[in-house]
A and B are shown apart, each in its own frame.
Chain A
Amino acid sequence: MTAGAKGAGMGSLRWTILATALLVVTVLGITLGETAMPLAEIWKGLRGEEGPAALTVRFLRAPRVLTALGAGACLGLSGALFQRLLRNPLASPDLMGFAPGAGLAMMITLAFGITLPPPLVSATGGVLAALSVAILAHRRDEGLAPLRLVLVGLGFGFTCSALAAFLMLTLPGPLALEAQRWLSGSLAARGWGHVAQIWLPGLILILLLVLQVRALSLLDLGDDLAQSLGLRAGRARMWLAATGVGLMAAGVAVAGPVAFVPLMAGPLGAAITGARRIGPALLAAALTGALITCGADLVARAAVPGVGLPLGLLTGLLGAPYLLWRLSLEIERGGL
């Protein structure tokens, strides 16, 4: 066996591992819960037979798991896209304050009783946040340094979260409690409406991203080379950023500003699959994002009987140590 074939063999094994993990988490997500359900019951439920188990599967578990998968994939893709675009593993939309911005926009509509489609609101918030952070982090002498973008975005995120927490206090009791859960990321009580809300815009945005993969890989070569190969670098970058914000917003609209999923999915996916080229790396990021979100949601509702932990808590516990480790790597490498 040649080295190349062996590498490919290893590669497909790693992809299989990722896909299997995703499948296992999906199945567990449907089986486990307040009442554990044997697979036979689930099969009945999915085939449309009647009974309490069928109802649970069809109206509670299946939409929740599908929403988690969709939101996770969108968030993961968005993170990986920005990390590639800004060539910095820390430049993800949650760390740069875009996700808190989208969360704040959702909170504003809730507090002032405005009814608009959530993905639209979240996208508007995300775009405004991205523009604000870019403008605030821009310096005439140094342009847009990715690290200043992260640091300013961090402050922007703090501000948005504080404003959202403030608005939450203006809400009446039960609504405030729900809003608080949502603000830290939650997939509780998701129905088929949410599934449509994430998968329709999600699939369109993923399609848009697929069309731009070539541009992204050209930009990866450096602006000068990309220009000489016939790419309008500035415009391509803007479209890619817009797609990234859109993906992030779609995820936030149904799952709330879940911490660290966009940040982790890309690098983790690349580590699992060994994907280096941009197309496969993005696919790995989407699958890993879905895996993390669905898995975290599973742990959040099943870990402590009777206590539904917030989803953002789990991703935070998972993501923060990862980021600390990543940070130490960057520092040792002298990238920071």
Chain B
Amino acid sequence: MRAGFLLPLALLIAVLLALLVGVRMIPPAAAWAALTSFDPYDADHVAFLDLRLPRLWAGLIAGTALGLAGVILRALTRNPLAEPGALGINAGAALAVVTGALIAGRGDGGIVVALAFPGALASMIAVFFIGGMGRGGAGPMRLALAGAVLNALLLSLTTGIVLLRSEGVEVLRFWTVGSLTQAAGRPLAAMAGLVALSALIALLIAPRLELLSLGDSMARGLGARAGRVKAAGLILVAMLAASSVAVAGPIAFLGLIVPELARRIVGAGLRAQMLAALLLGPAVLLLADVAGRLILQPGEVRAGLMVGLVGGPVFIALARRVRPGALA
């Protein structure tokens, strides 16, 4: 539990690094000056306000959203591999947005806000429908496999549409891997609001979600309306995934790494895990982004790829634990 108190510190360090470190190092004094006495002819000031700050916001929004969504999904499914990226929920939101942009002929913030959530919800329903058929509900193996395939399908479709629109490589990478580099043109304020609202609701219904993890019948015995709580949890997941995709593209595996870390640091309590994820999610994502800026200078590695490099091995470690015969 003591490690829990270090989490705010970790996030603070990540935020400072995300603001100041990169191919262009911005001295703290210049950053402060950019906020207090902005000089439009100072390159450091412009970079700080126009690039680093939006990027920080995107990282905070997407990191919080994906970390929290991972914790909720894991609690709902009792499956450590259930994660909005690996289940194809993020990819569904991305596909909806690029399809909308293809039909409307423009890809502005309005389309992103309008379509990300329906896309995320639709793909989530699809994956639970396929993974949850037959007896025994959505076992961990089924759900993970159905998710991986759905994810591959949706990403292929997204790639196809982006290529049809002959957009650049940067746009393709944003909508297939996810990155924080396109933050400036994203609907940051709207998504920040949505994530804050979702987080509040999640913290409020945490005890009821926790009852579900005892098993449906047990939860009903203790007075929870299992169906309703489940539906509320899943809608929250779709909202969180959609807002993360809207600002940072479909970043996979953050929702796998963060809940595992949170559980190890604060233990089994769901509300504590959620609070930890709210701090850990953005910390991990921002640190990944900073590492991506430094590792191949002057080139840059997208945050989505950096998270994926860590997430793959975590997926293997968690998959090793799953028992094929286990129902949940």
- Residue contact B315 to A155, C-beta cutoff 8 Å: yes
Q: What are 20 A-B interface contacts by the 8 Å CB criterion?
A: A142-B324, A145-B324, A151-B81, A152-B320, A155-B313, A158-B252, A159-B312, A169-B296, A309-B163, A313-B156, A313-B163, A316-B153, A316-B155, A317-B157, A317-B160, A320-B156, A327-B145, A328-B133, A332-B133, A336-B139
Give residues 136-158 of B contacting A (CB, 8 Å): 139, 141-142, 144-146, 148-150, 152-153, 155-157
Secondary structure of the A contact surface, majority rule: helix
Of the candidates B160, B309, B316, which one forms a contact with A309 in the assembled complex, judged by CB atoms under 8 Å apart? B160
Q: Which residue of B lies closest to A260 (CB)?
A: B152
A331 to B135, CA, bound (A): 8
- Residue contact A320 to B313, C-beta cutoff 8 Å: no
Task: Mark contacts of B158-198 with chain A using CB atoms, 8 A cut-off: 1 yes-contact digit, 0 otherwise.
Answer: 01100110100100000001000000000000000000000
Binding site for B on A (CB under 8 A): 90, 136-137, 139, 142, 145, 147-148, 150-152, 154-156, 158-160, 162-163, 165-166, 169-170, 177, 180, 184, 259, 304, 307, 309-310, 312-313, 316-317, 320-321, 323-324, 327-328, 331-332, 334, 336
- Residue contact B160 to A331, C-beta cutoff 8 Å: no
- Residue contact A154 to B134, C-beta cutoff 8 Å: no
Report chain B residues within 8 Å CB of A158.
Answer: 252-253, 308, 311-312, 315
- Residue contact A154 to B148, C-beta cutoff 8 Å: yes
- Say which size band chain B's interface belongs to: 35 or more
Q: Which residue of A lies closest to B133 (CB)?
A: A331
Secondary structure of the B contact surface, majority rule: helix
- Residue contact B135 to A334, C-beta cutoff 8 Å: yes
- Within the complex, the shortest CB–CB distance from A125 to chain B, in Å, comes to 16
- Within the complex, the shortest CB–CB distance from B142 to chain A, in Å, comes to 5
Q: Which residue of B lies closest to A322 (CB)?
A: B149
Report chain B residues within 8 Å CB of A184.
Answer: 159
Q: Number of contacts between A and B (CB, 8 Å)?
A: 125
- Residue contact B144 to A151, C-beta cutoff 8 Å: yes
- Residue contact B316 to A162, C-beta cutoff 8 Å: no
Of the candidates A142, A145, A151, A259, which one forms a contact with B152 in the assembled complex, judged by CB atoms under 8 Å apart? A259
Report chain A residues within 8 Å CB of B252.
Answer: 158
A137 to B322, CA, bound (A): 10
- Within the complex, the shortest CB–CB distance from A141 to chain B, in Å, comes to 10
- Residue contact A313 to B160, C-beta cutoff 8 Å: yes
- Within the complex, the shortest CB–CB distance from B173 to chain A, in Å, comes to 9
- Residue contact B142 to A152, C-beta cutoff 8 Å: no
New A-B contacts (18) at CB < 8 Å, excluding given A151-B322, A158-B253: A137-B320, A142-B324, A148-B320, A151-B81, A151-B144, A151-B145, A159-B312, A163-B309, A165-B305, A180-B169, A184-B159, A309-B163, A310-B163, A313-B159, A320-B152, A323-B149, A332-B133, A336-B142
